[in-house]
Amino acid sequence: MNIFTEFGRYLLMLKDMFSKPENMKMYWKELMHQCVEIGIRSLGIVVIISFFMGAVSALQTAYQLVSPLLPRSTIALIVRDTVILEFAPTLVCIVLAGVVGSKIAGELGNMRVSEQIDALEIMGINTRTYLVLPKILAAMITIPLLVVISMVLGIWGGRLASVATGIVAASQFDKGLLQNFLPYNVFFALAKAYTFSFIISSISSFYGYYVKGGSLEIGRASTQSVIVSCVLILLADYVLSAVLL
């Protein structure tokens, strides 16, 4: 199947997602369930990654910042901007493409192979609306929140590592954090987070929803969805940086 056919099917899946829900209460319940599955269940890995990402970033910046002409508070500034602009939205979303993306593709793939999707269709339920839309909405609600948490934890990790190793004093680090702060950077990071969360959820839903075959194909679909999501995230990262910065 060529890339244009795949892209066409992807667009059709997105178009068919928008239909009148049979029972709003059930769809709301499914949305909340997906928010827990995608958001809350990914919180642990995001906390760990973000903290260490900030800490390592601070230590490596200090290692490279050898000029005596530059104040030590610059470390805080660099950590803040790299975390907000790149590490929190992009790195976290790449990790989430693996964690959340493979889960979504695996879940939908299993439902397809075991005829659970057919069973829903027979009942008269639009499965794109019931199964795919809540996943995409839940990802677009929770992933930007996870990115914000990641920003805070990343900076906090950098501060803790800097102070603990004696690279920068806490007061100096705090001073650096406030230097030349551009709120636009947070907007840019959130724009990236929304874009990436849509990519992660829609691409993995697409690969899972259209699985054909058995368990082997479910595994392949999960892997494929992670690869495609990661490539598209990096591509979107470049495009957004070129357009918005």
Partner 1 sequence: MIEIKDLKKTFGDKTVIDGVSAVMQTGKCNLIIGSSGSGKTVFMKCLVGLFEPDSGEILYSGKNFTTMNEEERKELRQQIGMLFQGSALFDSMTVEQNIMFPLDMFTKVSFQEKLKRVNEVLARVNLENVNDKFPAEISGGMKKRVGIARAIVLNPKYLFCDEPNSGLDPQTSLLIDKLIKEITLEYKITTVVNTHDMNSVMETGDHIIYMHQGIKEWEGTNKEIIFSKNQKLNEFIFASEFLQDAKDMRMLEMKGKIDNNRNMDELLK
Residue placing its CB nearer to partner 1 in the complex, 1 or 66: 1
As given in the structure block, the two tokens for residue 180 are: 């030349």
If one asks whether residue 125 binds partner 1 (CB under 8 A), the answer comes out as yes
Pure H helices in the chain: 3-16, 24-38, 43-64, 74-82, 92-96, 102-113, 116-123, 127, 133-165, 170-178, 183-209, 215-244
Residue placing its CB nearer to partner 1 in the complex, 112 or 159: 112
If one asks whether residue 115 binds partner 1 (CB under 8 A), the answer comes out as yes
Choose which of 8, 19, 40, 48 interacts with partner 1 (CB under 8 A): 19
Contact present, 34 and 135 (Cβ < 8 Å): yes
If one asks whether residue 114 binds partner 1 (CB under 8 A), the answer comes out as yes
If one asks whether residue 40 binds partner 1 (CB under 8 A), the answer comes out as no
Residue placing its CB nearer to partner 1 in the complex, 115 or 174: 115
Choose the stretch contacting partner 1; rule: CB under 8 A; options: 16-24, 58-66, 70-78, 80-88.
16-24
Contact present, 54 and 157 (Cβ < 8 Å): yes
Pseudo-torsion of CA 60, 62, 67, 69, nearest 10°? 140
CB of 132 to partner 1, least distance (A): 16
Apex 67 CA angle, 61 and 69, nearest 5? 120
Residue placing its CB nearer to partner 1 in the complex, 128 or 192: 128
Q: Fill in the amino acid letter for 81.
A: D
Give contact residues for partner 1 (rule: CB under 8 A): 19, 22-23, 26, 110, 114-116, 118-119, 121-126
